Structure 1
Amino acid sequence: MFPVAYRYQALKEALAAAISGRDLLPRHAASAPDLRCPHALAVVSGLASNGYVASLLVSRYFRLGDAGAARKVFDAATSRPPSAAAVSPPQKTLLYNAMLRGYLSRGLPWMAVGVFWEMGACPPDRHTYHLAVMACARASEFEVGRRVGAEAAAKGFQSDLLVATALIGMYAEAGDMSAARMVFDEMPRRDAVAWNAIISGYACGGHLNEAAELFMRMRSVDCVLPTEATLVSLISGYASFGSWEGRGMMHGIVIKSGFQLNLFVSNALLDLYVEFGCLGEAVTLFRQMAVYFAQCDYGLR
């Protein structure tokens, strides 16, 4: 006879496999009705109040489009009295993060903001603050986002890569580039996503000199290679706010960066040329891209 703890762990792993879709059980939950069976088993066994299992149920219900069922699982798990299977503080944070991520994935950022303020004594981690700031940005709750940012800074998370990048994006969305730049300058290290956030913020706000300066610094000082997102945001900024002379400079930057055959970057360049009435250059670029992709298509046959 296996010890109780072993059987409990085995049941938890089997339930996790059934909920998340791994192949430890013959059939996994491919739809909301399919998920009812492992969900019921979790309730009967007492594992529905386990933070790990509950967070898997929440995530799966959100992926299946049933936000109401996800909320019921969350409420049941967080309202239960402490027990051997109840939600420990780290698992409770995991559960809150699953709710935040789920609401964001379903386009309900204001619901995610509400969940963040329900945390109470539950300790947020870097992922919590990252998701909460993203939710505030998408819900245009910028003052709330500032409060979240202040709380994150007080707990030492503002210099975290995930949290800082989300704050830069939120401040840029709010039009407060001075706050975005302050967060950016205080980051101990920056990846391409952080650079993209600050460059995009400046470019979309019409601050093209600052955007171009940061683009050059990104490569020369921090040795971070630009991505297609970097170039698309920079080109789009020049299309909206740039000068006639800027169009040639942008095409040169694209070629030097090796993105002249990238579909998204080329489409942004086309928009730039059309915006300035440079139809000849636009047609030439379009034909070059058409030939290139036709050759790629032929090579794949």
Structure 2
Amino acid sequence: MKVGLQIQRALQGLLNKAAVDGGAYGHLIHHFTRHRLPLHALQLHARIVLFSITPDNFLASKLINFYTRENRFCRALHVFDEITVKNAFSYNALLIAYASREMYSNAFNLFSSWIRSSVTARPDSVTISCVLKSLSGYDDFLLCSLAQQVHGFVLRGGFDSDVFVSNGLITYYTKCDDVVSARKVFDEMPERDVVSWNSMISGYSQSGSYEECKELYKAMLGCPELKPNGVTVISVLQACGQSSDLVLGMEVHKKILENHIQMDLSLCNAVIGVYAKCGSLDYARALFDEMSEKDSVTYGAIISGYMAHGLVKEAMALFSEMESVGLSTWNAVISGLMQNNHHEEVIDSFREMIRCGNRPNTVTLSSLLPSLTYSSNLKGGKEIHGFAIRNVSDNNIYVATSIIDNYAKLGYLQGAQRVFDNCREELDCLDCDYNSVRYSWGL
């Protein structure tokens, strides 16, 4: 029966004071929720209670969704608890509710208890997508372990043939920087859609596997049924920029124009970025000047390109044109000035950044410290060290090594040794030779 007829039937039942029809009333609750008619939904639920009817799973799922949207989550939980025999409808409704409220641990715990306790209620692809979304609430180490557990369940339950589920697994493995497991899922998929390819290409690009990203893009071009979209080419352009592959970057740009892919701001920034990073600064600037809309990323791409190729004057001239400067652009300027040995300007820019209300991050600090060392500013190095400790960024390996370098070169060996000892665990992750590192700093 069509949904419209179900709603008419439910309304007719209300007029005739007929018994509750769970399916029809479920559609009616859904209708009230979609059209933001909370009073109607509450009155209908009151009628259901008046008839002393326990909602079936379909009706209960619609009530859970309604109460969640109305921020009456306790009522949603009460509806769920009252269901005598739960199935995927009701479990999924509560999983979606938890995920929408970012109660990720609750969602995963519900899923775990479901698969342990229920024999009849079988999870489906909606379940898996909710569980995968809930994993984003965990830290990186636990995320990888839980993703593997969910993957195991997917394989045991036969969900690996579901494109939507496999795409989710690829996304979460790449978030864990486990591109090997992500690629294994990708290769074993019986069918792949554009999202599958984009997820894997993006994962490679974000993890720094630039050659693999570019090779997979070329393989995608060999599939006549697939056409790269804006998401695809942004990831590939980023890989081209980071690997200084101007030839492929130009080919991708040509494909964008040939396939009439919409040049939104993100894509324009990616195109400008690849030309700027690869040294085609005149062309990058020409594209920049043609853009009607620009943001801090647009300016940052050109400024970084100028700085990387020693054109500090041009970079600072463009920087001075900006009306609103974000932290990422300040970092591009400070880092670029440091790399070009404009150390006094680095310190001046840092002070101006603070005056404008921007809070430095680890990128800022690791770019500032070499200039303080060059200026023999030990006091400034200690102040930055104190700031890093207060903001729990002193364990960042780039900040820590910059602090050690500042202390060691300016004769504060005791402080350098202390920071060195505190970051041994991070150095372990980089497989550092302690003796060589200590010798280079004179410790």
TM-score, normalised to structure 2's length?
0.53
Whole-Å separation in 2 of the counterparts to 1:107 and 1:237: 32
Q: Which structure 2 residues correspond to residues 120-199 of structure 1 after superposition, within 5 A?
A: 120-124=156-160, 125-152=162-189, 155-157=190-192, 160-172=193-205, 173=207, 174-175=209-210, 176=212, 177-186=214-223, 188-199=226-237
Deviates more, 1:142-151 or 1:104-113: 104-113
Larger relative contact order (CA 8 Å, sep ≥ 6): 1
Whole-Å separation in 2 of the counterparts to 1:18 and 1:76: 23
Contact 2:269/2:298 (<8 A) preserved: yes
Change (3 A) 1:203 1:191: same
Aligned to 2:135: 103
Q: CA deviation at 1:251?
A: 1.2
Structure 2: state its 5+ residue gaps.
Answer: 1-18, 25-54, 325-443
Whole-Å separation in 2 of the counterparts to 1:167 and 1:70: 26
Q: CA deviation at 1:97?
A: 0.9
Q: Which structure 2 residues correspond to residues 1-301 of structure 1 after superposition, within 5 A?
A: 1-3=19-21, 7-8=55-56, 9-19=58-68, 21=69, 23=70, 27-29=71-73, 34=74, 37-46=75-84, 49-79=86-116, 80-82=118-120, 86-87=121-122, 92-104=124-136, 106=138, 108=140, 109-110=143-144, 111-119=146-154, 120-124=156-160, 125-152=162-189, 155-157=190-192, 160-172=193-205, 173=207, 174-175=209-210, 176=212, 177-186=214-223, 188-219=226-257, 221-237=258-274, 240=277, 242-243=278-279, 246-256=280-290, 258-259=291-292, 261-290=294-323
SS at match of 1:225: coil
SS at match of 1:289: coil
Change (3 A) 1:96 1:207: same
Change (3 A) 1:113 1:135: farther
Q: CA deviation at 1:100?
A: 0.8
Q: CA deviation at 1:232?
A: 3.2
Whole-Å separation in 1 of the counterparts to 2:287 and 2:139: 35
Q: CA deviation at 1:149?
A: 0.7
Contact 2:198/2:232 (<8 A) preserved: yes
The one-letter amino acid paired with 1:2 is: V
SS at match of 2:124: helix
Contact 2:167/2:199 (<8 A) preserved: yes
SS at match of 2:263: coil
Change (3 A) 1:122 1:270: same
SS at match of 2:321: helix
Whole-Å separation in 2 of the counterparts to 1:260 and 1:273: 20
Structure 1: state its 5+ residue gaps.
Answer: 292-301
Contact 2:281/2:305 (<8 A) preserved: yes
The one-letter amino acid paired with 2:322 is: M
The one-letter amino acid paired with 1:103 is: L
Whole-Å separation in 1 of the counterparts to 2:241 and 2:221: 15
Change (3 A) 1:254 1:171: same
SS at match of 1:206: coil
The one-letter amino acid paired with 1:114 is: Q
Whole-Å separation in 2 of the counterparts to 1:131 and 1:195: 20
